Amino acid sequence: PLGQKLWEEYAQRGAMDEQLVRSRALYRRRCERLLAALERTLREEGLVDPARMGAVRDELEHEWAHDHA
Average pLDDT score over residue span 24-28: 89
| Sign of the alpha-carbon dihedral angle for 43, 49, 55, 56 | negative
Predicted model pTM = 0.58
Residue 68 scores a pLDDT above 80: no
- Of 56, 42, 19, 44, give the one whose Cα is nearest residue 64: 56
pLDDT at 33: 92
pLDDT tens profile 35-58: 889 888 988 888 877 777 788 778
Helix 2-12 to helix 15-44 angle (10° resolution) is: 90
pLDDT at 48: 78
pLDDT at 43: 83
